[in-house]
Amino acid sequence: MKIRNSLSKIFIFTLVALLSGRALACENLFSHPITASELKQMSKLLVNSNPLQTQFEQTRKLAILKRPLKSSGRVSFSPKRGVIWQQQKPFKTTLILQANSLTQVNSQGQVSVITGGESNTISELLSPVMNGMFTGNIAALQESFDLYFQNDVDKEYWLLGLIPKNNLAKKAFSSIVIRGDNIATKSEFSIQTIVLTSNAIKNKKSDVTTIRFIEPQTHSLGKNDLQLFELSSSNSVL
């Protein structure tokens, strides 16, 4: 089955998100375009060649709602296979991102697939974002985003800002801010939080999605993860 544009928007809102302006000082961040030396620094901070798993908690604050929407689950990453994003609460849904395809498995087990051949815009946008976050291939993000960076030596965290160049992405969100741990070791996943804003950075009524990663750890892919990657691969060639 083909995924409509709404699915791609849901995927973007689910995967790419960050902390609100209170802690991230977004306006200040977006006045500092990333330099070549900082790009190399970011690649070193994010490099990860091992499979890993992490729990996540997501909060979406929508301008039209008084109460935030909360969800949680886990993420599995394999540098060779891709990313599995499994929401477990309040309902189950799974998103599988591989090099040329995006697969969704809903709570009823129904499978929907979009391939690069069907919509290069979506797959080409999502692949470098997730690949950059988990492997440190930040340079690839410059094809789809303008990048901004802050890393004060007296702080324990760094900030990476992304503003989309792609028209499809601009309709879904206006900015992404990634916050990471400066004191994480090379074997640890350093990203702490991701925040996505859906409207202009200075718009107080913007919808904001925040994802917090909890207890990331290097972990070999389990049987269930391998089956999901195989499911995605088999459906993408149908």
Can you give the pLDDT at residue 6?
A: 43
Output the pTM of the full model. 0.77
Closest C-alpha among 173, 171, 149 to residue 13 = 173
Cα–Cα distance measured from residue 114 to residue 11, given in angstroms and rounded to the nearest whole number:
12
Tell me the residue type at 224. N
Can you give the pLDDT at residue 184?
A: 58
Instruction: Give helix 120-135 / helix 5-15 axis angle, nearest 10°.
Output: 10
Look up tokens 């760094």; give the residue.
158
Q: Which residues is 161 bridged to in the sheet?
A: 148, 177
Contact assessment for residue 193 and residue 19, using Cβ atoms and an 8 Å cutoff:
yes
What the chain holds in terms of domains, given with CATH numbers, is: 5-236 (2.50.20.10)
Q: Which residues is 38 bridged to in the sheet?
A: none
Closest C-alpha among 125, 150, 160 to residue 46 = 160
Cα–Cα distance measured from residue 84 to residue 103, given in angstroms and rounded to the nearest whole number:
9
Cα–Cα distance measured from residue 34 to residue 127, given in angstroms and rounded to the nearest whole number:
21
What is the pLDDT tens value at each position of the chain, 238 positions in all? 444 444 444 444 444 443 333 344 556 899 999 999 998 888 877 777 788 888 999 998 888 888 999 999 999 988 888 889 899 999 999 988 887 678 889 888 888 887 655 444 455 556 667 777 777 777 778 888 899 998 876 677 889 999 988 777 777 778 889 888 776 555 566 678 888 787 644 555 678 889 898 888 887 888 999 999 888 777 655 5
Can you give the pLDDT at residue 79?
A: 82
